[in-house]
Structure 1
Amino acid sequence: MKDVFHSTGFKIMVAVVFAMLCLMLYTAGAGDSATGKLFGFITIPMQRISTIVANNAAVSAESAARSKEELEAENRSLRRQVDELNKKLVNYYSAQQENAQLRKFLELKNNNQDFKPVAAAVIGRDPNDLFGQFTIDQGSQAGISVNDPVVTEAGVVGWVSSLNSSYSKVTTILSPETKISAMDRVNRETGVVGCDIRAADRSLLHLNYLSAGTAVKAGELVVTSGIGGLYPRNLIIGTVKDVKNSSYDVSLYAEVKPAVDVKSVRDVLVITAFQGQGQALGTASSGASGTASSAGGTP
């Protein structure tokens, strides 16, 4: 407050007001003379200006007189408002993303009436894991079991390898543990989709055990065959990139680019039940069912 009265601007304002008062007194003493009228013509606008200046100075002095506590309280109030708006914005975007994801999952469910799906979100991921294993926010309480297939609307992601009541670990299709009975969608030639460290490093899969005269070509879709009872039939796995000779026998294999980038997926669908689930496991020979279960999809 003291700084306002000692400022140069305030002193100039006082001087202007004093000069105006002197002119007003002189004008009053001049009566109706021509000189008085002339001074009145000059001083009246200046009086108006001086009034405006005085009013503005009063407002400025009032603002300067506001306490530090009042300013801090106002600042805290504004910050609370900003925080509330940010929370609403986050909730809006989260709801928007969730709705978009649920619409895609609903379409998948409508196309596969036998599916019993559980929607889940990825909540944990090891960035150093070459095979892209991750954790989802649903477990046995949601009806999920070990070996349940995990997918998105785009295709196969992997399978549930372990779980507790609230969370599940998902082993992806890039893991050497994963084996999926599959077929070429065009020629219906069957094989087993798997992966190894070198292929996983390139984010590729192998459709193994193709015959020497295979008709599989680059650009064709590879889908699940349903054999083994661990994956529903006709889920997209990926697209053939190339066909090569196997290093271990006379057969051929196809390099397959996965339909889903398992290392960046955020929302998934766990299929807890489907038509034909586990049927082959009940009729498998001794030892074969154990291999199928541990592999998460061996035919």
Structure 2
Amino acid sequence: MESMTQKDPSQFCDKEFPMTDKDFEFICELVYNTCGIVLGDHKREMVYSRLARRIRSIGLRDFKEYCELINQKNSPELSECINSITTNLTSFFRENHHFEFLENKALAEMKSRHSVDKRVRIWSAGCSSGEEPYSIAITLAKHFPTPWDFKVLATDLDSNMLYKAKNGIYAEDSVDGLPSEKMERGFVRSKANRQVKVKPGIQEHIQFKRLNLLQQWPMKGPFDVIFCRNVVIYFDQPTKVRLFERYWDMLADGGYLFLGHSESLSKDSPNFKSVGRTIYQKI
């Protein structure tokens, strides 16, 4: 029986929009060179289904034409291509052990470190539709009242997700199960349309910016904590190592890096020590 991952040149030629091996390989290479995301053969169906929507919406005939379009210099469609391929699965206070560590351990260290300047900085790298940075800001707001100056930098590659994040409006069921204390601190309910909106007092502490993690970073740091969860799973090992080195440079001494539940630092990143489940401290 033929392997499910083996390439079949005709597999995607009898669909609505023909996609040859050459088309798929071009897309994989362009996506990798643009943002470091590795697309294997097992992602072929996903790539087809998501980009077929783009081809249909802009009126092209096939993937060959689409490849020509995204290969044009400064093509705005390249951004739409990346937006379509990246996965954005998140929720408020997802992987709650990170927020418990932030509140019960890291915040006390920040207060001591910044007892004079009262300036706290956290980076949500790969913030998706905003649930993560809002969860961080809601946590910090409880512990850093005026005159403390705390800011959360929230970055993502996907411009569509950033637009949603900046609006701060979510379906009511997205906050189901949150404690009443977090609800009261962070959200206003709209019973008319079954939505919640993040309170302005929380939003004012967050700056949303589009950022490709593999390109130059305009910010200088240092950050007390960096959240980079469920992002590096898309990168190959050399890209991960370079990224972790750059995070190390951006962290304050003793600062923390939080990764996703299926991610970890390897022996190639000796300048961090594990201090909890997918929690690492700069050494």
TM-score by length of 1: 0.26
More strand by share: 1
TM-score by length of 2: 0.27
